[in-house]
């Protein structure tokens, strides 16, 4: 049986959340000399001399509205990379606990595991990039606190079958983290609609992809109120800066433009899926539910260097087990995709 208290690190359970004088005082004030800010003003722009809201109240309310969740089910991080790291710090005792992920997948799970001295167990995805569930369950140990699942998966682009995720949620007593960084490009509901069923489910999403805000660093975790309270307790107090909070609030008003961009990207993705296999250099384009394609090519290393010479940067994934001979290519603009196509067609 999953019991949150059993898996959270004892020091985290004992900690008290950081609180500022502004959290404690109730009522009106006009003189703020509590936080050692510069009260003369800011050289960067009005208001930036003040620390940002550590609880990101307005932003969480707005996101909750859009996602159909309660603000208490939402954690905001400095990119979802920060949420990944805090999940490790929340449940994994350095040098003692372990996590499990599926390969090939997003590199940050491993980086965070190493940084936090967490043992890493990895299970290879099947040839069609799905989870061998029984193998995963066999690998789970008493010390396994986290399983990371990326769906749509980076770098393979595919969604993970929901039945596999359900089986892991039902049979694993640690946290199952479903990283949905690319979910906006897939035509399926988010796992956030299933939160009420699974107390051990954590979902990650980001503003870096469909929302086009990679430079602002804003990621989200959705989970039970208890898990979110713990993440909020251990985060750096001012992890989301004021400019990001303001700009994200504005962007969140533009849901129509968001839908338009997603449609455009998905359309271009499907165009590339159709067109690329006609090129001599291309052996296979894997189906994708994300904003990138995994493309198996002849001479991946040579094609990669050749594209660089043409001023086109793609990601060479050919040395990753499971992605041999593959490049990962983000869907660009219509013009960029045309340039890519031309360049590959001229490759000898």
129 sits near ligand PMP (criterion: CB under 6 A): no
Rule CB under 6 A: say whether 184 interacts with ligand PMP. no
Measured from the CB atom, the residue of 147 and 282 that comes closer to ligand PMP is 147
* Residues 134-153 within binding reach of ligand PMP (CB under 6 A): 150
Q: Which is nearer to ligand PMP, 79 or 281 (CB)?
A: 79
Handedness of CA 331, 290, 77, 86 (dihedral sign): negative
302 alpha carbon, distance to own chain's centre: 31
CB of 31 to ligand PMP, least distance (A): 37
CA distances from 221 to 71, 83, 175, 184, 207 (A): 11, 7, 13, 15, 12
Minimal CA–CA distance to 208: which of 248, 256, 242, 236? 248
Residue nearest to ligand PMP (CB): 79
Instruction: Give yes or no for residue 54 binding ligand PMP (CB under 6 A).
Output: no
> Of these, 73, 208, 239, 337, which contacts ligand PMP (CB under 6 A)?
208
The distance of closest approach from Cβ of residue 251 to ligand PMP in the complex, given in angstroms and rounded to an integer, is: 14
Alpha-carbon distance of 164 to 172, in angstroms, equals 12
Residue 292 Cβ vs ligand PMP, minimum distance, rounded to whole Å: 9
Size of the site for ligand PMP (CB under 6 A): 12
Question: Least distance from C-beta 294 to ligand PMP, angstroms?
Answer: 13
Question: What is the DSSP code (8-state) at residue 155?
Answer: T
Does position 179 bind ligand PMP by CB under 6 A?
yes
Helices 108-115 & 80-91, crossing angle to 10 degrees? 40
**Which pair of tokens denotes residue 57?**
């109240």
Task: Select from 214, 308, 313, 334 the one that contacts ligand PMP (CB under 6 A).
Answer: 214
CB 317 → ligand PMP: shortest distance, Å? Answer: 12
Q: Which is nearer to ligand PMP, 52 or 79 (CB)?
A: 79
Instruction: Look at residues 75, 94, 116, 90 and name the one whose alpha carbon lies nearest to residue 13.
Output: 90
Least distance between ligand PMP and beta carbon 293 (Å): 14
Q: Which of 146, 149, 159, 181 binds ligand PMP (CB under 6 A)?
A: 181
d(CA 193, CA 69): 9
Interface pick for ligand PMP out of 206, 224, 291, 316 (rule CB under 6 A)? 206
Quote the least distance from Cβ 220 to ligand PMP, whole Å: 8
Which candidate, 126, 86, 118, 83, places its Cα nearest to that of 102? 126
Are 258 and 210 in contact, with CB atoms under 8 Å apart? yes
| Distance of alpha carbon 117 from alpha carbon 97, whole angstroms | 8
Contact pattern for ligand PMP over residues 65 through 104, marking x by CB under 6 A: --------------xxx-----------------------
Residues in CB range of 126: below 8 A, 6 or more apart: 132
Q: Is 219 in the site for ligand PMP (CB under 6 A)?
A: yes
Q: CB 155 → ligand PMP: shortest distance, Å?
A: 8
Q: What residues contact residue 332 under an 8 Å CB cut-off, 6+ apart?
A: 268, 339, 340
**Residues forming the site for ligand PMP (CB under 6 A):** 79-81, 106, 150, 154, 179, 181, 206, 208, 214, 219
């Amino acid at each position: 049986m999953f019991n949150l208290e059993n898996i959270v690190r004892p020091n985290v359970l004992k900690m008290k959340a950081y609180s500022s004088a502004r959290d404690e005082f109730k009522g009106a004030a006009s003189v703020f000399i509590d936080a050692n800010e510069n009260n003369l003003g800011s050289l960067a722009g009005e208001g930036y001399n003040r620390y940002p809201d550590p609880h990101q109240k307005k932003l969480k309310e707005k996101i909750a509205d859009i996602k159909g969740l309660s603000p208490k089910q939402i954690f905001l991080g400095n990119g979802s990379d920060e949420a990944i790291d805090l999940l490790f710090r929340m449940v994994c005792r350095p040098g003692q606990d372990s996590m499990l992920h599926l390969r090939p997948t997003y590199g940050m799970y491993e980086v965070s595991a190493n940084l936090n001295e967490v043992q890493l167990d990895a299970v290879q995805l099947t040839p069609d990039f799905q989870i061998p569930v029984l193998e995963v369950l066999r690998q789970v140990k008493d010390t396994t606190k986290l399983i990371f699942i990326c769906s749509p998966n980076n770098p393979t682009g595919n969604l993970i079958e929901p039945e596999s995720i359900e089986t892991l949620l039902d049979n694993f007593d640690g946290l199952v983290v479903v990283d949905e960084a690319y979910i906006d490009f897939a035509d399926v509901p988010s796992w956030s609609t299933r939160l009420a069923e699974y107390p051990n489910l954590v979902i990650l999403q980001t503003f870096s992809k469909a929302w086009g805000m990679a430079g602002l660093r804003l990621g989200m975790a959705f989970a039970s109120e208890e898990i979110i309270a713990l993440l909020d307790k251990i985060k750096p107090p001012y992890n989301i800066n004021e400019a990001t909070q303001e700009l994200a609030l504005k962007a969140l008003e533009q849901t129509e433009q968001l839908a338009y961009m997603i449609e455009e990207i998905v359309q271009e993705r499907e165009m590339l899926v159709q067109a690329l296999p006609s090129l001599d250099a291309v052996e296979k384009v894997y189906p994708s539910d994300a904003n990138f394609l995994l493309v198996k090519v002849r001479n991946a290393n040579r094609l990669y260097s050749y594209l660089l010479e043409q001023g086109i940067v793609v990601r060479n994934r050919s040395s990753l087990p499971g992605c041999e001979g593959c490049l990962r290519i983000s869907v660009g603009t219509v013009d960029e995709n045309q340039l890519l196509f031309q360049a590959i067609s001229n490759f000898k």
